[in-house]
Structure 1
Amino acid sequence: MKAVGIVVEYNPFHNGHHFQVTKARQITNADVVIAVMSASFLQRGEPAIVSKWFRTQMALACGVDIVIELPYIYSTQKAETFANGAISLLAEMGVNFINFGSESGNIQDFEHLLTFMRQNKVAFDRHVKENMKLGYSYPRATSTAFTQLNPDCDTLSLTEPNNILGFHYMKAIQDQGYSIQATTTLRRQAHYHDQQISEGSIASATSIRQAIQNGELSEIKHVMPTESYQLLKSYKQTYSLLHTWQDYYDLLQYKVLSTPVTHLRMIYECEEGLEYRVKNVSKRATSFSDWMQQLKTKRYTWTRLQRLATHILTNTTKLEMKEALSQQTPEYIRLLGMNTLGQAYLNQSKKNRSVPLITKPAKAKGITAFLEERATNIYLSPLSSEVRRKEMSEQFSRHPIIAH
C-alpha cells in the first residue's frame, strides 16, 4: 500500500481541506492519506478552535485515513522547525509522497526555488542579517532578502505562507535524506489572508475563524463539509465555547504579572528585553487583542508574539525546548485516529517503523511527552471545572478514534 502524507491544522476542517485530501490521493494514486495534525496549539501561536479529537473526527469523516499528532515542540514553531518535525513524523510513517497546497500548483516551481536558495545561501543569510539590523521582523527580513537576491522575480516567491511552508517541506526532505516525493495542489479561489467569507464553496481559514469569533456560525455552513460543520456545532454545545485567545487572557495576564522578569527571560522565544515590554503591557491591556496591539512592534510580528504568549502560558523554557529539539528522531508517534483502511496500512507497515507508535500518552516517555501533556492541560483550562477534570483524566487513557 502506498501512502501520501499531508501536514495540517484543520482549524477547522473546511471545503478547501477536503479538496486537498481528494487531490492528494488522485495526484499520487496513493491508497492511504495520512495527516500529521497540530495538537492543541498551532503554528501561528493560537489555541485550536476545537480539540484535536474533534478535528480528528472531522478529518476521518472527510477522506483522511490516519491522523497522527504533531506535538507542541513542532506545532508552535517557525516554518523551518515546523516542517522538519512534520516531515520526520511522516517519514517514520513510511509515506511515499507528501502533498501541500500552494498558490503555484506546480512542483517544478518549488524544485527550482530549492535549487536557487541553495546556490545563494551565503548571500541570502547575509541579507537577512543586514535586514534584521535595520529592525525588520524575521519574516520581512527573509522576504526582503529574497527580493534582493531575485529582483526580477523569475523564481517562485517566498512571501506567500503556503510557498514558505512548501519550500521548507521540500528542504526538510532533502536535508534529512528521505526518499519522499513531493507534490502540490493548486489552492482554489480563496487567498490565505482573505478576511471575508466568499459566496462560493471555498473560503480561507482566516475568514472562517473570523466568522467563528464573531459568533456567525451560520455564515460558514456552505464552506465546510456537513460532517465538519456539525462537529463544530457539537463542540460548542458540549463545551460552551470555541477556543480563542481571549479565553486564556486572564490566565496569561496572571502568569506574566506573577512571574519575575528573570524567569520570563528564560521563556522560549523571549529575546532582546521582551520580558520588560510584556510585563509593562500586561499592566495596561484590557483584552488579549489590546495586549497584542500594545506589544507589537516593527521588529516583532503578530504571529511571533502570539507564539511567545503561548510559551509564556505553557511555561515552556528555552532549556526545555532546546532539549526537546535536540532529539535526532521523534521520540514517538501518537496515533489520534484511523479508519479500517488506515488500520490495514498500520498493520502492514509496522515492521518498518523505528519509532514507537503509541495509542495512549501514558506510554509516551521523554521531554516531548512532558511538554505535550502540560500544553494539553493548559489548553483545557477555559472549560468548566468538572468538564476540565474529566478531560484531563481522559488524556491518559483515551484510545485513538476508529472510524468505520
Structure 2
Amino acid sequence: MKTVGIVVEYNPLHHGHVLHYHKSKEVTGADAVVAVISGPFLQRGEPAIAGKRARAEMALAMGVDLCIELPVTYAVQPAEWFAYGAVSILEATGVVDCLSFGSESGSLEQILPLSRLLANEPGEFRSKIEQHLREGMNFPSAYGAAAAAVFSQSGPAVNPLQELLTQPNNSLGLHYLIALNRLNSRITPYTIPREQAQYHDPLPGSSSIASATAIRNIILSEGLNAARPYIPEFTLEIMNREIQAGQAPIHWERFRQPLFQTLLTHTPAQLEDYLEVTEGLEHRVQRMLSQLENPTVEGLLGALKTKRYTRTKLQRMLLHIMLNHDKGSMSPEELAKGPGYIRVLGFNETGRGLLKRMKKSATLPVIQKPTLLQHPQLERDLMAAAVYANGHPVPDIRHFYSDYLLPPLTP
C-alpha cells in the first residue's frame, strides 16, 4: 500500500482542499492518505474557526484515512519549525511513502536544489538574514532574500528565486523539503499547483474555490450559509453543528479577556521571557496597550504592526504569551529534538490498517489516550485545548477536558 502524507489546517476545509486531496492521490498513485493537522491554534498565530476534532471530522468525511495532531509546540511556529515538526511526524510513522504540498509554482525545480543547500545552512546564510533585518526587512522577506542570494552564488540568478520565495506556499514548501533533507528521510516530495484562490486572498473570486481567509471572513461577517458556495456539504453540516452547539465560530476576540489580563499583569521583563517577544517588543506591547481607544485584540495588533513586524509574527507572539510558552522550553535546541509522540485524532478502516502497521514501524509512541503518556509537548497540547474551549461562545466545563474524555474519531 502506497501512502501519501499531507500537512493541513482545514480552517475550514473547502473546495481547494478537496482538489489538493484528489490531485495528491492521483499524482503520487497513493492508496491511502495520512494528514497531520494542526490543533486549536494555527501557524499564523490564529485560533482555528472550529475545534480540531471538527476539522479532523471534515478530513475523514473527505476521504483522509488517518488524522494525526501536530503538537501546538510546532503548530504555532515560523515555517521552519512548523514544517520540521510535521515532516518529523510523517517520517516517524514509518508508513508514509511520499509528501504532497500545494505551492504557487507547482514545481520543485528551483526549490529542491535550494533545500539541499539550506539543510546545512551555509555560514553566510544567517549573517545575510541578520543584515536584511537590520535594513528593516521583516523576517520572511529577509529569509527569502538571503536564501536567493546564497543560492545564486552557485546557481540561478537571484531575482526570480527571491520573488518565488515571497509566496507563502512556495516558502513553506521549501521548509518541508529542508526538513526532509535534515531528517535524511526516504519520503518522496511532490507539489500540487495552487489554483485560482491564493492563500491570503481576503475575498472570494468568481469560482467555487476561495481561500480559507475569505471563507472565514464570510462566515464571521455574513453567516455560515453565505459560505455555502465555497465549502463541501459535509463542511457546512459540521460547521453548522458546531455553531449550534456553541463551539464555533472562534476568532481572536474570544480570547481578549485572558490575553489582556496577562499583558496587564506582567512587567516588560516578564513578557520578555515569552517566545517571539524580541527586540524590545515587550515595551512596545505595553506602550501600545495603554494607548488603545478600543481595547480589542484587533486594535492591539493594528497598533503593534510595522513594516518590520508582520501581523503573523505579532499574532504568534500574543498567542505564546497567552499560552505561557517561554523561550527556554521551546528553544531551537528543544525544537530540534522533534515531536515526542504521534497522537491520533481519527481514522477510518484503511487508517485502522495503517495503525496496525505502525505498531511495528513507528519510531515514536502512538497514542490515542493522552493519559498513557507524560511529555511536556503533550501537556502544552492539553492546556491549549482547554484555553481554546474557554473561548467557545457557550463555554462548557466538559469541553475543557475533552482531550481526556473523547476517543479518536471513527466514521
TM-score normalised per structure 2 = 0.92
Letter in 2 for 1:349: M
Q: Runs of 5+ in structure 2 lacking a partner?
A: none
* Amino acid in structure 1 at the alignment position of 2:235: S
Which residue of structure 1 lines up, in the alignment, with residue 4 of structure 2?
Answer: 4
Residues 195-234 of structure 1: pairs in structure 2 closer than 5 A: 195-234=202-241
Task: Rate the CA distance shift 1:36–1:316 in 2: closer, same or farther, 3 A.
Answer: same
2:40 alignment counterpart: 40
State the shift of 1:352 in Å. Answer: 0.8
Q: Tell me which residue corresponds to 1:289.
A: 298
- Which of residues 270, 274, 277 in structure 2 aligns to 1:270? 277
Check conservation: 2:144, 2:162, Cα contact below 8 A: no
Q: Which residue identity does 2:191 align to in structure 1? A: T
CA displacement at 1:155 relative to structure 2: 7.8
Partner in structure 2 of residue 308 of structure 1: 317
Match of 2:381 in 1: 372
Is the 1:257–1:283 contact (alpha carbons within 8 Å) kept by the matching residues of 2? no
For 1:62, the equivalent position in structure 2 comes to: 62
- The residue identity in structure 1 corresponding to 2:110 is D
Which residue does 2:343 correspond to in 1?
A: 334
Partner amino acid for 1:294? A
Unaligned runs of 5+ in 1: none
Counterpart in 2 of 1:390? Answer: 398
Find the aligned partners of 1:35 and 1:264 in 2 and give their Cα distance. Answer: 35
Distance in 1 between the 2:257 and 2:242 partners? Answer: 22
Deviation at 1:131, TM superposition (A): 1.0
Q: More deviation in 320-329 or 59-68?
A: 320-329
Q: Say if 1:155 and 1:267 are closer, same or farther in 2 by CA, change over 3 A.
A: closer
1:65-144 correspondence to structure 2 within 5 Å: 65-94=65-94, 95-115=96-116, 121-144=122-145
* Per-residue Cα deviation, 1:132-177 (whole angstroms, up to 9, x for no partner): 1122211122233345554342688111110011111011111111
Asked whether the 8 Å contact 1:324–1:367 carries over to 2, the reply is no
Contact 2:18 2:62 in 1 (8 A): yes
Contact kept? 2:92, 2:364, Cα under 8 Å: yes
Q: Which deviates further from its counterpart, 317-326 or 6-15?
A: 317-326
Change (3 A) 1:154 1:280: closer
Change (3 A) 1:326 1:294: closer
State whether structure 2 residue 409 is matched by structure 1 residue 401: yes
- Using the alignment, how far apart are the partners of 1:213 and 1:22 within structure 2? 29
**Residue identity (%):** 36
Query: How far apart are residue 120 of structure 1 and its match?
Result: 8.7
Q: CA deviation at 1:243?
A: 0.6
SS of the residue 1:182 aligns to: strand
Q: TM-score, length-normalised on structure 1?
A: 0.94
Compared CA separation, residues 320 and 280, structure 1 to 2 (3 A): same
Residues in 2 aligned to 1:324 and 1:231: alpha-carbon distance in whole angstroms: 39
Q: Is the contact between residue 110 and residue 156 of structure 1 (CA under 8 Å) also seen in structure 2? A: no
Q: Which residue of 2 aligns with 1:247?
A: 254
* Pairing 1:186–2:186 present: no
Amino acid at match of 2:69: E
Q: State the distance in 1 between where 2:372 and 2:333 align.
A: 17
AA aligned to 1:92 is A
TM-superposed CA distance for 1:29, in Å, is 1.2
CA distances 1:80-115 after superposition (whole Å, capped 9, x unpaired) = 000100000001112100000011222333324335
C-alpha distance in 2 between matches for 1:80 and 1:133: 21
Residues 109, 155 of structure 1: 8 Å contact kept: no
| Partner deviation per Cα, 1:311-358 (whole Å, 9 max, x = no partner) | 111111112213993563421111000011111121123201121111
* Root mean square deviation, CA, Å: 2.1
Instruction: Specify the code of the residue in structure 2 equivalent to 1:104.
Output: S
Describe the shift of the 1:317–1:120 C-alpha distance in structure 2 as closer, same or farther (beyond 3 A). Answer: closer
Which secondary structure state, in structure 1, belongs to the residue aligned with residue 185 of structure 2? coil
For the pair 1:359 / 2:392, whether they are aligned, the reply is no
